[in-house]
Amino acid sequence: MIADKVKNLIKNSVDQFSIIENDVDEYIVRFYSGQVSIAAKNKVLYLQMLATKGKKKVFKVITDVNSLENSVEDALKILELTEEGEVPEIYPKASYSSKEISDKEIEFEEALNKVINSIEQAYELGIDRTAGIAKLYKTKFYLLTSTGNEKEETRTDYIYYIRAFKGNGSGFGNSVSTSIKRFDPSVAATEAAEYAVKSEAPKHISEGKYNVILSPPIASTIFELVAEMCSAYSIDVGFSFLKDKIGEFIAPKELNVTDYGQIEDGVNSRSFDDEGTPTSTTKLIESGRFVSAIHNSITAKKWGTKTTGNAGVIEPSPWNVVVEGGNADIDEMIKEIKEGVFITNNWYTRFNNYRTGEFSTIIRDAAFYIKNGEISHPVANIRLSDSLPRLLNSIKMISQNTRWIKWWGEVVTPVKSPYILVDGTTLTVP
Amino acid sequence: MIDEEIAHFAVQYSSKLGFKYCEARVQQDIYISQSLNNGAPDVPLKSEFYGIGIRGIYKGIMGFASTNILTKESVSKAVEDLKRTLESVAATRKNEKIKMSEEDVLTANWTVDERTRFEDLSLDWFLKEAKELDDIVKSETKIKQRLIKLKGSLQLKYFVNSEGTIVRARIPRYLFTAFITAYESSDIAQRFIEIGGSGGPEVLDKLNTFEKFKNEVKTMTKIVGKRNAIKEGAYDVIVGPEVAGIMAHESIGHPFEADRIRGREGAQGGESYLRDIKSNKIGSSETNISDDPTIPFSYGYFLFDEEGVKARKKELVKEGLVKELLHNRETAGELGIKSNASARAANYSVEPIIRMSNTYVEPGEWTFEEMLKDVKNGLFINSFMEWNIDDRRLNQRYVGFEAYKITNSEISEPVKGVIIETTTLNLWSKLYARSKELEFSAATCGKGDPEQGVPVWTGGPYLLFKGLNLKVR
């Protein structure tokens, strides 16, 4: 293992270190209009090295594995030049337990067949065209720390998303899994195609306040943002509306949001963080109350608390976010709305102000106008403009069904989310 | 030192295994960054990405492989694995034939001038500069939260393809970013600032980084707590170069990428209104928008693209009409034209795709004072925070950060949360005048999956729009 070589190169020059070796095999199949636009096979072996000496610290990513001596020497030079300050604490001797959530190997042929069949299924439903991607990863992690920790683990991740287009409508589907057994492009493609067909001829609606049902893809955007804003670093530098809100109600009592270091189908699972701390399960919102920020050792020290195992050497980040399902089913939620909109997906979320939580996001793919408890017609060309504190406080119903979401650009940290009914959000039209 | 020999080996071995077209790019990207959170230095980061990306056509399918183990054994395995992957894919799909455009076979070396070489700069320089920039803001009592970051990078590339083209490149870049939050009574103001370019560290002086940041801080402390809402409705609006730049980038640059028009990005960044509109008229005759990677010191600078094609300026919209799209060799080949060198790759491990470089509204003949005189009563929006646009690039929003009323042809009180929310064709149809200035902002443009952030400039002059509908947050 190259991590062992680096350990031998630095162990006598630093006080603390955490070295993580990542050995990644990646398969990618991208497609559009029924064609495969590119297929890729990538292999990368790289190291993340965190080292401290006295009150100095450095973090280095090394891919030039053929000249490890030079890379380590360079890191040690940087370490000498840095200013003294708070240093991360590498976790003491620990026992890590890797959950059995992954396959041993990537099943490429099987995954490819599932993907190709899914595209064909989408076309069978009468759509005009598709575009999408499947990304399959096998990652071998190897941790070594100055505190004597040593841990090897292997994960497989399967991520697929598809858009189907029909007329002026489109639909989105997403399948995310840590095992080929539960990787299901077929369900995702069918949903995308059905939404595309149903939204083929959208109408315009007027700007105003609406009660909306947010499907898992857009609800995941919201909860990913909330989880990121639970990072103590985000709160300290101004990227969060949660400053001074620990212990306060920020949502109705039905809302529970938890970060899992490892969980079945959470495609960002690991048993240790970048400081060698065992990852854990951290309740962020419990019965509507913001109960915990997420920490690495530096933010924990600053806040007078313990790390939650979410390092990030600079910024602690959530691993896999799970929003607990509620009691409602989708039909009940639709029946509840006199006038509103059912939203299936979104894209391009940007903040006017992170401290106040004011943001807007483009409604993308199928959306449907609801009148007197029934879906009436598809709508297009709208934007949701709101603030996170108002939106969270206006959640009225939470579905029983939850689903994992992770896709390009919008939901980067995996989120398992239900459908949510939100009162009185603003939808704008240009 | 870049391993050039392994690139030639990769191309030869791919050709031997039956790849019809192939190219190899050995690329090293080194990043150093130092951030200060509320004045305290974060862990300094240094990242080195060094490896080879190999792209080729096999059985009619484009394939890509990468590895950071630069031995013949490892590269051979990468090509063999890719071939096997493409055989599996070919067994399931019948693809249309890919035709790459015919381009000159050339050998080129290009670099960016640096007074101080990236390799000669140590971390203490980053720390010292970051602290000096932090000094500008730390004594401002209204600014209570701040994140200051200084990042430098060096990109070394060696490109070779099966046609015999060879390109060597060396590009150092520097980027300053700041995120600051000011409080006054019940008002909280937040602002992102990004200043960056290509060159040695002296490029930050050339770009007046310290002066610009001082002005931003001064503006923020001046307007926070004093911003009022306006009445919604139609106004004559002057926007600053930063707003002009984001408008050009989002509503013209992206939809002019030919791969989006074909639908290749349909599941990610989306498609383009150019698939649907019947006329090639985008806006008023004042609408002149270009993309030019050859601007010296620019953040999106390059002289040859990642397919070995010589870069040049592209006039995307001329006098309101569509003039040229952004192409790589694949989209140009399909149309039987030449590529205009728009293929870029963020690092060795990703395929080159069609990208912007420095996208901007061309300057005009007016002065800012003449614009104010013409407006009499209206709005001046100099910068923005929130923005977004739909995936066909029609429905867009820009929310003003530094914005003022214009009263009797003079800039008067600051306003809060003013929104330009309109469609591309409506926006550019209302463009009435352009000033003589041309200023740029640095940005990192995202596209593709795997996500590729590439450095760009966005810019323009002051623009005067007549009768633009404004909303309020």
* Chain B 412-441, residues with CB within 8 Å of chain A CB atoms: 417, 421-423, 426
Give tens-digit pLDDT for B178-197: 999 999 999 999 999 999 99
**Residue B194, SS3?**
strand
Residue A86 carries which DSSP code?
A: -
CATH code for the part of the protein at B4-223:
3.30.2290.10
For residue A253, with 0-12 CB atoms within 10 Å meaning exposed, 13-18 middle and 19 or more buried, which class applies? Answer: exposed
Measure B231 CA to nearest chain A CA, in Å.
Answer: 17
Compute the distance between CA of residue B210 and CA of residue B212 in angstroms, rounded to an integer.
Answer: 6
Single out the residue of B404, B376, B409, B398 nearest to residue B471, CA to CA: B398
Compute the distance between CA of residue A368 and CA of residue A341 in angstroms, rounded to an integer.
Answer: 5
Residues of chain B with Cβ-Cβ distance to A362 below 8 Å are 388-391, 395
Reduced DSSP (H G I as helix, E B as strand, rest coil) percent helix, strand, coil of chain A, to 5: 25, 40, 35
A116 to chain B, any CB pair closer than 8 A? The answer is yes
Question: Is-contact A222 A394, C-beta < 8 A?
Answer: no
Compute the distance between CA of residue B312 and CA of residue B319 in angstroms, rounded to an integer.
Answer: 20
Residues of chain A with Cβ-Cβ distance to B61 below 8 Å are 36, 38-39
Compute the distance between CA of residue A11 and CA of residue A21 in angstroms, rounded to an integer.
Answer: 16
Q: Where are the domains of chain B?
A: 4-223, 233-472
pLDDT, averaged across chain B: 97
> Above 90 in pLDDT, residue B95?
no
pLDDT band at B107 (very low <50, low <70, confident <90, very high): very high
Q: How far apart are the first and last CA of chain B?
A: 53
Q: How far apart are the first and last CA of chain A?
A: 57
Compute the distance between CA of residue B269 and CA of residue B252 in angstroms, rounded to an integer.
Answer: 14
Compute the distance between CA of residue A358 and CA of residue A344 in angstroms, rounded to an integer.
Answer: 21
Task: Name, in order, each residue with C-beta under 8 angstroms of A184's C-beta and a sequence gap of 6 or more.
Answer: A114, A175, A177
Compute the distance between CA of residue A207 and CA of residue A430 in angstroms, rounded to an integer.
Answer: 9
Question: Is-contact A295 A303, C-beta < 8 A?
Answer: yes
pLDDT band at B92 (very low <50, low <70, confident <90, very high): confident
Residues of chain A with Cβ-Cβ distance to B45 below 8 Å are 59-61, 314
For residue B106, with 0-12 CB atoms within 10 Å meaning exposed, 13-18 middle and 19 or more buried, which class applies? Answer: middle
Q: What is the pLDDT at residue A70? A: 93
CB-based burial, A299-337: b 16+ in 10 Å, e otherwise: bbbeeeeebbbbbbbbbbbbbbbbbbbbebebeebbebb
Give the CA dihedral A190, A194, A200, A203, nearest 10 degrees.
-130
Single out the residue of A288, A97, A122 nearest to residue A191, CA to CA: A122
Return the number of other C-beta atoms located less than 10 Å from residue B232's C-beta. Answer: 12
The alpha-carbon radius of gyration of chain B (Å, integer) is: 24
- Note whether B266 contacts A130, CB cutoff 8 Å: yes
A118 to chain B, any CB pair closer than 8 A? The answer is no
B48 to chain A, any CB pair closer than 8 A? The answer is yes
| Residue of chain B whose alpha carbon sits nearest to that of A315 | B42
Strands (E), B338-472: 343-344, 353-354, 358-361, 378-381, 384-389, 395-400, 403-407, 410-414, 418-423, 431-434, 439-447, 452-460, 463-472
Structure tokens that stand for A329 in this block: 């089913």
Distance of alpha carbon B11 from the chain centroid:
30
Question: Is-contact A277 A307, C-beta < 8 A?
Answer: yes
Question: Is-contact A318 A295, C-beta < 8 A?
Answer: no
Residues of chain B with Cβ-Cβ distance to A358 below 8 Å are 386, 473
Q: What is the pLDDT at residue A267? A: 98
Query: C-alpha angle with apex B398: B138 to B228, nearest 5 degrees?
Result: 65
Q: At residue B173, what are phi and psi to the nearest 5 degrees?
A: -140, 150
Compute the distance between CA of residue A140 and CA of residue A120 in angstroms, rounded to an integer.
Answer: 33
> Above 80 in pLDDT, residue B96?
no
Tell me which H or E stretch contains A389: helix A388-393
- Note whether B266 contacts A116, CB cutoff 8 Å: no
CA atoms lying within 13 Å on the CB side of residue A407: 27
| String of DSSP letters for B212-227 | HHHHHHHHHHHHTT--
Strands B452-460 and B358-361, bridge-based pairing = parallel
Compute the distance between CA of residue B221 and CA of residue A189 in angstroms, rounded to an integer.
Answer: 51
Structure tokens that stand for B257 in this block: 């990428």
Q: Please give the single-letter amino acid code of residue A338.
A: K
Compute the distance between CA of residue B210 and CA of residue B201 in angstroms, rounded to an integer.
Answer: 13
Task: Name, in order, each residue with C-beta under 8 angstroms of B175's C-beta and a sequence gap of 6 or more.
Answer: B150, B151, B152, B153, B194, B195, B196, B299, B442, B455
Give tens-digit pLDDT for B289-318: 999 999 999 999 999 999 999 999 999 999
- Note whether B82 contacts A236, CB cutoff 8 Å: no
Give bridge partners of residue B111 from the DSSP assignment: B170
A28 to chain B, any CB pair closer than 8 A? The answer is yes
Compute the distance between CA of residue A139 and CA of residue B305 in angstroms, rounded to an integer.
Answer: 32
Question: Is-contact B244 B461, C-beta < 8 A?
Answer: yes
**Residue B191, SS3?**
strand
Nearest by CB: A29 against B68, B89, B266? B89
Single out the residue of B394, B444, B393, B384 nearest to residue B417, CA to CA: B384
Query: C-alpha angle with apex B422: B186 to B466, nearest 5 degrees?
Result: 95
Question: Is-contact B172 B152, C-beta < 8 A?
Answer: yes
Domains annotated on chain A, with CATH? 2-198 (3.30.2290.10), 208-428 (no CATH)
Listed as ranges, residues in chain A with pLDDT below 70 are: none
Structure tokens that stand for B241 in this block: 């170069």
Q: What percent of chain B has pLDDT over 70?
A: 100
Strands (E), A1-125: 16-32, 35-53, 56-62
Query: C-alpha angle with apex B269: B264 to B270, nearest 5 degrees?
Result: 60
Task: Name, in order, each residue with C-beta under 8 angstroms of A62's C-beta and a sequence gap of 6 or more.
Answer: A6, A46, A47, A49, A68, A71, B48
* Single pTM value for the model: 0.97
A201 to chain B, any CB pair closer than 8 A? The answer is no
B450 to chain A, any CB pair closer than 8 A? The answer is yes
Measure B333 CA to nearest chain A CA, in Å.
Answer: 15
Residue with tokens 């409508």: A169
> Above 90 in pLDDT, residue B1?
no
Distance of alpha carbon B40 from the chain centroid:
30
For residue A168, with 0-12 CB atoms within 10 Å meaning exposed, 13-18 middle and 19 or more buried, which class applies? Answer: middle
Chain A / chain B CB contacts < 8 angstroms: 254
* Chain A 376-395, residues with CB within 8 Å of chain B CB atoms: 381, 383, 385
Return the number of other C-beta atoms located less than 10 Å from residue A48's C-beta. Answer: 18
Strands (E), B162-303: 166-184, 187-198, 233-239, 289-291
